[in-house]
Structure formats: structure tokens, C-alpha cells
Amino acid sequence: MNKFLFGTLLLIMITSCSPKMGSSILKTLPALPNSEVVIVLNELDEQLITAEKIGEIKVTDNGFSSDCSYYENIQNLKRLARAAGANLVKITEHKSGDKWSSCDRFWADIYKVDNAIDFEVEIEWSENRKLTWDDFKGVPNSVDLPEAAAATNSGFGSYSNRPHMLETKGEFFVVTKFYKNTSWVISDKKSDYILNHEQLHFDLAEVYSRKYRKALQAAKLELGNMQQAETIFNRVYSDFVKRQERYDNETEHGINTVKQGEWNAIIEIELAKYDLYKKPNQKI
């Protein structure tokens, strides 16, 4: 018996300034709510996906696109996947902005898996998503960090959109991330107390993301002046590294409970202080 899969091609044109998005659906599923996590794997990720593919999606340039940076189009991939009922996106091809197009362009396969979190390799900071020990998937490094029960690999960086026609106004997207495969814990050292210490490393990274967003906005940059943006980033990131080291030294990697309590309060206050800058995108 021959089996045929009939896909429907949906091309969505939102506005002349938006990227071109398309879906080729092989299996019809109910759309997912916005609250459900959708995981995106880059084209180099070699994790085995055994679930049935339910379709293909793409986000490209319609010829006049402007809101199509790497960060923006990753979000567009997630939206297309949710609409198709998929919770896992595997990028099959990615083209960065070049002389032919200012957009980051993506082609991807989409899947519905039992637990998308199993495929997650990085976590974007959210006040609603706290770390768990299951997020620490790396191999302990007792050689370089002999006194540490756990280690958190987190940081922040930025993307910018590249408008057409040499426009100078746009947005920077500053994102704080935790990297699962290089964060680790010694199995017999797990405790809620140590987990809180590691969560605050991640929270401190978000504090400096917000400081970077504030600095970018205050500088009134033009997108063409990326050298100034890099100078600001280097200054803020240098302060961030020093502050992380100070946090570990003063708390003795979380062993000093008095100092840990002080830092809990300090970081909570600083997150609140920069609350206006918690959104990833900052217009310039």
C-alpha cells in the first residue's frame, strides 16, 4: 500500500517590513498555548530526535524586511512551531545577514516530543523560571574548582537588527543565558541552599544585562556604530566578571551563610532597581 503525506503550505505576509514566514505541515495538531516551552536546536546540534516530524517551517526575507535579526527570527520560529502544535524546532539551515539580505534566514524541521525540556541546552533568564538541579548537565571540574560543589556557566550578549536602506534606528536585543552542558554539580553536594547560591550567579548575570541595556539606551547609538556598542559591552562585561568573582569570594562559594544572606538581598534589590530594563529589546 502506498502512503501519501499531504502537506499544506501556508505563507504568512504580515507587513511589508516583516520577514516572510512559511509552514509546510505534514500532520495536523492543535496549536500550543504561549505558555508552553518551545525548544530551538541550532543546525550543529546532534541530539537524536526519534519523534515523528510534523512539518517544516522557514523565516526568510521578503525583500523589504527590517525586523528580522537573529533574535527576532528565532522568536518567529517559535511562534510558527506553536501554531502548528510543535514544541521542538531543529534548524536545518541558517544564513546570516549579508550583502544580499540584512536578515538572518532560517529553515527548520518541527516536532512534537513528550518533553521538550529534555532537549534544552540553554535557558534564557526569566523571573518565572528558576534553575533546578536537572539543569546542571555538565561534568564536574574539581581540578580548576576544587572547593566548589557546583558551577554555573551563565552570561549575556546582544544581537542587533539590521534595517534596510541604511537606516540608523532600530533595536538591540540583550539576552541572559544559562548553559546546561557546561554547568555542573557534584551529586552528593546537592541542596536547596547550594542551588540558591547558583541561581544568584544567574540572577547577577541578569543584573548586568539590564545595566548593559540601560547603557545602550543612554548612549543613543546608531546601529551603524557597532564599535561604540562593543566598547560599552566590554566595560559592562568586565564589571560583571569582577562582581561574580567577588560574590564567590565573599560567600566562600556559598559556605558563608551570613554573607550569602547579604548577597541574596543585594541582588534582589539590584534586579528591582533596573526593572525598567528587564525586556530583551532596547530601542536606540
pLDDT tens digit at each of 284 positions of the chain? 333 333 333 333 333 466 778 888 888 899 999 989 999 999 999 999 999 999 999 998 776 566 778 888 999 999 999 999 999 999 999 998 776 777 888 999 999 999 999 999 999 999 999 999 999 999 998 888 887 899 999 999 888 765 444 455 567 789 999 999 999 999 999 999 999 999 999 999 999 999 999 998 888 776 666 788 889 999 999 999 999 999 999 999 889 999 999 999 999 999 999 999 998 865 55
Q: How far apart are CA 224 and CA 201, in angstroms?
A: 33
Backbone region of residue 200 per phi and psi (left: phi > 0; alpha: psi in -120 to 50; beta: other values): alpha
Q: Which residue type occupies 284?
A: I
Q: How far apart are CA 32 and CA 86, in angstroms?
A: 7
Place of cell 540608523: 168
Record the pTM. 0.84
Q: Counting beta carbons within 10 angstroms of the beta carbon of residue 217, is it exposed (0 to 12), middle (13 to 18) or buried (19 or more)?
A: middle
